[in-house]
Amino acid sequence: MKGYRRFGIIVIVGIISCLLFASLSFAESRELAEIRAAIKAKGANWTAGESWVTRLSPEERRELLGEKTTELGIQESSDPPPDISYPDAIDWRNVGGHNWITPIKDQRSCGSCVAFGSVATVESLARIEQGKSALYIDLSEMHLFNCGGGSCSSGWYNSSACAYLKNNGTPDETCWPYEPVNRSCSNTCPDWQSRAVKITSYGRISGIESHKTYVAIAPILVAFRVYSDFYYYTGGIYEYTSGVYEGGHAVSIVGYDTTGPVDYWIVKNSWGDSWGENGYFRIKMGECGIETRSSYWMSGALLPSTLSGWIFMSPDIPDFGYSLSESDLVFFDSWGYVISYNFTTGLWVDEPPADFVYVDWPFYYVLDSGSVMFALPPESGLPVYHFSTGHWEVLPRIIP
């Protein structure tokens, strides 16, 4: 008898779940149809469709938004823009033939967009200021958000994130990997201060022309008003067409274009690369308060003097990299390549530099004024250089 009751309960729960899912799907389809009709009626230049974001409940969608600043009118005044000219268009994903933007990330169901927009801006800034588009840099949003005062449920402020980055910085992602939950700052790695990347200065921006001036120098941190139609964005140049106000969202502007019929910003989001235009979106200039809500430039990215625990992988040559800690320098590859790293371009090439400086069999490297070459004989093992002793040690390979 108990078995029948249990079976009946399972059946009832299953029916309720199916009805709830069907109800949500119907509501989503109806909302999408209304948005598409509004886009057509307004003559807007963007497309709407379903994604993992639209399949969330209304409450879950709002959890993605967490920038709490109101409009600039009641905030501190903005800084005057630098007296420089700016191009008609720029996209930091392709400047000089190189991509200066780090990969798209996913904040998931937590109002941590301020941390993600801030980190995206700093990571690109470091690459640009170092002049190395291939610089591997992946900073910890978890540390910045939880140690700076953010909350998944209530969000944070762009201004607070900038202040924390200047005063404290944030370490690499491996120090404290991201989770979409609130945690005490005591959970960060114990040596985070020696691993933190800081900024030297930051300032407020307002107005389209000022934004273009600063974006021409490097990506900037901004926020804008999100309306319910934005969740359905799949491509094109977004402008508000229908729906209710949902909240503020922090992002990083990585470019703009004023050469076509509609002037727009190119924006890096933090909802994964399956949303929008491979994780990015374009938005019409002057739309949703994106130039007036909470915009900041940053400069002077300070990399830690000791990159403890950082791993640098070559994007140009597979299976090669090195790691650096306070006591050891480790180089590794899989195939025994002879390769060079050029400090000027920030690129790896499979050509040796001109002048030999150091040899220590079975591992050697070569250094000249602009490059350093690392070479490993096939199957030699993993070379480790100990700063304390000045000697190399060959360990068994850990890279297959």
Active-site residues: which are they? 113, 249, 269
Calpha distance 170→168 (Å, rounded)? 7
HSE-CB at 142 with a 13 A cutoff on CA atoms is: 21
Q: Which residues contact 33 (CB under 8 A, 6 or more apart)?
A: none
Which two three-digit tokens encode residue 20? 């709830």
Q: Residue 226 has what DSSP assignment?
A: E
Q: Residue 185 has what DSSP assignment?
A: G
Calpha distance 74→70 (Å, rounded)? 7
Calpha distance 223→290 (Å, rounded)? 6
Q: Going by DSSP bridges, is the β-strand pair 233-238/280-284 parallel, antiparallel, or unpaired?
A: parallel
Q: H-type helices in the chain, by residue range? A: 2-42, 58-62, 113-130, 141-148, 158-167, 192-195, 208-215
CB 376 within 8 A of CB 333: yes
Q: Going by DSSP bridges, is the β-strand pair 363-367/358-360 parallel, antiparallel, or unpaired?
A: antiparallel
Q: Which residues contact 217 (CB under 8 A, 6 or more apart)?
A: 82, 84, 128, 297, 299
Comparing C-alpha atoms, which of 204, 127, 195, 191 is closest to residue 162? Answer: 204
